[in-house]
Amino acid sequence: MRFSSNTMALHNADTVPYLTYNSLSELKFINHAFSTRLGGVSEGEFTSMNLAFNRGDDPDAVTENYRRLCKSAGFDFDTLTASAQDHNTFVRTVTKNDCGVGIYKPRDMQSVDALITNEQGVTLVTYYADCTPLFFVDAKNKAIGLAHAGWRGTVERIGEKVVEKMTALYGTDPSDIVAAVGPAISVCCYEVDLPVAERFLALEDLDASRFVFPKPGGKYMLDLLECNRQILVKAGVRAENITLSDLCTNCNSDLLWSHRATNGHRGTMCAFMCLV
C-alpha cells in the first residue's frame, strides 16, 4: 500500500490504520479520525475494517472493529453516537444521553445525516464509502459537527444547515469554524448523468463551472468537494479555514472503501470526532 497526501496523515499503518487532517490536528481540544478498510476482523467482502451494522456483516465483528479503531485512535467506545443516514439533511443535536445510539444501543431516529455537539464525553460517528464527509469545529466556542454529504445532501446544502444549527444553538460565528471536506470520490472518478448534473447547475449562487464538467456522451464529471467548499464559504466559513482532502476513495481503494470501485460489495468507513 502506497500512501501520499499533503492534507492528511496516516497513523498506525501496520496495525489499525486511521487518517487525520493536519489542519484539525492543530486544534488540541478535539480528537478526530477517519477510518480505512484495514485493521479489522471482518471477513469476505467486508475484509477487514467494516463499521456498518446494516450491510450483512457479523455484528460481533463490527463491534470488535469499533473497539479496535477506538483503541488505535484514542476514542472511548462507550461515548460513540452514530448517525442514521438516508441522504437527507436533518441535523441532530447530540448529548451524553445519546451515547451508544446506533452502536451498542438501537437507532432511535431514522433520518440523521449530520451530528453536532458542544459536550465533552460524546464521540460523533458518521458513515462513508465514496460520499463526502464534512468536519466542523467552532474554534472559539468549542463545538463540533460531522455531516454526510452525498450528491443529494450536497445539492440540498447540508453543510449550510450544519453551520446554521451550530450558530443557533451554540452561538457559533461561522467565521470561527475550521472545516475539512473528504476523503470522498473525487472529480477524477465521479461521473454522473444529466439529471444529477442539472441539480448542481441550478445552484445559481455558486460557480458551477468549478464543479460540473461536461464530457462526451451526455455525461459529466462532478466535484463534490469543491461544491461543498463553496457552500461552506457562502454560509460564512472563511475560505482559508477549509481544507479539502486530496485522497480520492476510488483511486485509493486499497486503503479506503469505495462503493464504485467494489461495485457495492464493500464495507463502510466512519468519521469520528469528540471534544477532549
Ramachandran angles phi, psi of 165, nearest 5°: -70, -40
Would you kindly state where each structural domain of the chain is located, as residue ranges? 8-185+241-275
pLDDT for 2: 83
Q: Is the pTM of this model over 0.85?
A: yes
- Name every residue whose Cβ is closer than 8 Å to that of residue 259 and which is 6 or more positions away in sequence: 129, 130, 266
Percent of the chain with pLDDT over 90: 99
Cis peptide before 183, with omega less than 30 degrees from 0?
yes
- For 68-117, what is each residue's pLDDT tens digit? 999 999 999 999 999 999 999 999 999 999 999 999 999 999 999 999 99
CATH architecture of 8-185+241-275: 4-Layer Sandwich (3.60)
1, 48, 142, 226 from 17: Cα distances, Å: 12, 11, 27, 27
